[in-house]
């Protein structure tokens, strides 16, 4: 395709566009010269400075999802400079909606984390009530302490937990002291 064809195509496109504009102009209602133009509606002195306009649903990806209410009235100021202000306000509203959506998702994440922490706290509290986590006992001796509370002898505890017999005897005496029994010699 040469330069000549490109120029002809551009001219044809411009001709179609001009024809379309002339067609639109011929269909527009015309005010006759003998009829005066309708005066602008007078605004009463006690009228509010803004009007409620309902924002229609939009397929824009800019609009946030669940927190955005499409049928909610949005106040639009009235006056001579409404077009620039309305545009600026619409931009601000969209930005605020985006920020609100981000805050909502951050809040949901914090709630999930809080629920997880509460569940961990509940589990730890339950363990403490059962006696699996005694105060002052080393975590590596918890299983041995449980066996000692069940009444197993020191040799069996030592075999099952992989500790020495002397350590098992100490764990048994700790279990007896926590249970309120006086210390017994093996």
Both 103 and 150 in a single domain? no
Contact between 55 and 70 (Cβ < 8 Å)? yes
Number of structural domains in the chain = 2
Compute the distance between CA of residue 78 and CA of residue 51 in angstroms, rounded to an integer.
7
Both 141 and 74 in a single domain? no
Which of 130, 150, 169 marks a domain boundary? 130
In a domain, 20, yes or no: no
Both 142 and 157 in a single domain? yes
Digit-coded pLDDT (tens) for 12-54: 999 999 999 888 888 877 655 555 555 555 545 554 454 444 4
Coil vs helix vs strand at 16:
helix
The pLDDT score that the predictor gives to residue 170 is: 93
Both 90 and 143 in a single domain? no
Range of the domain at 53: 49-130
Helix axes 142-150, 165-179, angle to 10 degrees: 60
Both 71 and 142 in a single domain? no
Both 93 and 66 in a single domain? yes
Digit-coded pLDDT (tens) for 101-142: 999 999 999 999 999 999 999 888 877 766 554 555 677 788
The pLDDT score that the predictor gives to residue 63 is: 47
Both 109 and 162 in a single domain? no
In a domain, 8, yes or no: no
Contact between 181 and 149 (Cβ < 8 Å)? no
Both 54 and 123 in a single domain? yes
In a domain, 156, yes or no: yes
Both 61 and 115 in a single domain? yes
Phi, psi of 50 (to 5 degrees): -140, 160
In a domain, 11, yes or no: no
On whether the pTM is more than 0.85, the answer is no
Compute the distance between CA of residue 186 and CA of residue 153 in angstroms, rounded to an integer.
9
- CB 145: neighbour CB atoms within 10 A? 22
Which of 108, 130, 152 marks a domain boundary? 130
Phi, psi of 33 (to 5 degrees): -70, -25
CB-based contacts of 105: which residues, under 8 Å, 6+ apart? none
In a domain, 100, yes or no: yes
Question: Any idea which of 64-68, 164-168, 169-173 has the lowest mean pLDDT?
Answer: 64-68
């Amino acid at each position: 395709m040469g330069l000549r064809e490109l120029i002809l195509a551009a001219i044809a496109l411009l001709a179609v566009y001009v024809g379309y504009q002339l067609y639109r102009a011929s269909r527009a209602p015309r005010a006759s010269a003998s009829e005066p133009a309708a005066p602008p509606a007078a605004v009463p002195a006690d009228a509010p400075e803004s009007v409620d306009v309902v924002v229609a649903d939009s397929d824009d990806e800019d609009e946030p999802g669940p927190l955005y209410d499409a049928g909610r009235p949005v106040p639009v100021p009235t006056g001579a400079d409404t077009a620039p202000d309305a545009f600026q306000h619409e931009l601000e509203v969209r930005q605020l909606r985006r920020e609100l959506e981000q805050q909502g998702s951050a809040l949901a994440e914090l709630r999930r984390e809080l629920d997880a922490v509460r569940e961990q706290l509940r589990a730890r509290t339950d363990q403490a009530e059962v006696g699996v986590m005694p105060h002052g006992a080393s975590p590596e001796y918890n299983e041995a302490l449980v066996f000692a509370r069940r009444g197993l002898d020191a040799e069996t505890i030592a075999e099952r937990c992989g500790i020495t017999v002397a350590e098992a005897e100490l764990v048994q005496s700790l279990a007896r002291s926590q249970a309120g029994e006086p210390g017994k010699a093996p």
